[in-house]
Amino acid sequence: MTRKLKAYRFPIILLISIIIGSIIGLVFGEEANVIKPLGDIFINLLFMVVVPLVFFSISSSIAGMDSMRRLGKIMGSMVTTFFITGIIASIFMLFFTVIFSPISNSNFPTETPEEIEEISLADQLVQTFTVPDFVDLFSRSNMLVLIIFAILVGLATGLAGQQGKPFATLLSSGSEVFMKLVQIIMYYAPIGLGAYFAALVGEFGTTLLGDYAKAIIIYYPVAILYFFIGFTLYAFLAGGKRGVAAFWKNILNPAVTSLGTGSSVAAIPVNLQAAKKIGVPKDVRETVIPLGATIHMDGSCLSAMLKIAFVFSVFNMDFSGISTFLIAIGICLLSGIVMSGIPGGGFLGELMIITLYGLPIQAMPIISAIGVVVDPPATMINATGDTVASMLVTRTIDGKDWMDMPMEE
């Protein structure tokens, strides 16, 4: 029990700091704004580090993926599976957020631009995926372009072969340095978030706290439903009734380990054991599960959709229409797959939500608090989803009778 509490020590500290800040806001009202600069410092530090961190982390990760050449078929099936399950998770949460709006009657002020520039679809695509100058990449307002550029740099580094090795080492080193910088900044997070919530609650009162309670009430039942219904369906598609029975017989240890440690990576060993007992071949499980621990996050897709719906409601924005929903699903995939392998990726995913939708920086602490309170079930879904994904990949690679095939060790 003590070990489990230790694993969640930092999220608990963050949650306590938010509660303390909220109490300060309730007691002192708008006078609590005096400590808001302490929160602004934290937000600015995150925005300051996000551009180099995203570039080095993604490009170094792509540059080091030599296994894509050796195990092309497995990797192709794995990536397809990760994307499909991520889309399903996003749509699953979208369905419930449309039916049960996370908040209602928000009194947050919004700013409407004086002039709205109308551009063609072609020009909008150009502005979305490219920038006219290299220096424009260093702006957080061009986050999607930066991600695309980082992926291309990583691919080019890998294709350069031996000559690209020194640059790959540089990218890896830069990634490690900025990961450490994020860890340093996060030591200040309890003070920053506590101060920000003191100011928010001081200005908007108990309405804000009630909104968070409603959002949490939505997430936990939806996450549990996805865990039981979604994973049962995936296991059935992978191996029929036998697949379902084998999955639920062996998934308890990975589920408990991920809950106890608060980490998908920490659950890799027990996930590998579970996949072996289920009958997943060695080459599949030892490729899908370790990579899945960093780039397959159905639980994060669920929470990202909730955050988007929540922040739309907070700022009185219209969360409806096919185009709005498709963009939201795309952002969930980026948050749950691209950003998930980066330390502090939850915060970076939230930054991406803010920048791609053009939201004010005040939105950052508002949605980051959701990530703190939904982390336990999200982590469990992230981790156990890797095991069922390995079953689906095996079904694609070896056919419907894969459970009858002898395992090669």
pLDDT of residue 406 exceeding 70: no
List of residues 6+ apart from 110 with CB closer than 8 A: 315, 316, 317
DSSP state of 114: S
Q: What is the dihedral of CA 166, 167, 169, 175, to 10 degrees?
A: 170
Q: How many helices and strands, by DSSP H and E, does the chain display?
A: 19, 0
Q: pLDDT of 141-190, one tens digit each? A: 676 688 788 878 888 888 888 898 899 899 989 888 887 887 788 788 88
pLDDT of residue 408 exceeding 50: yes
**What tokens does 388 get?**
């069922």
**Amino acid letter at 160?**
A
Q: pLDDT of 35-78, one tens digit each? A: 988 988 887 887 787 778 778 877 876 776 655 554 567 778 88
Residues of the chain with pLDDT > 90, as a percent, come to: 13
List of residues 6+ apart from 212 with CB closer than 8 A: 369, 370, 373
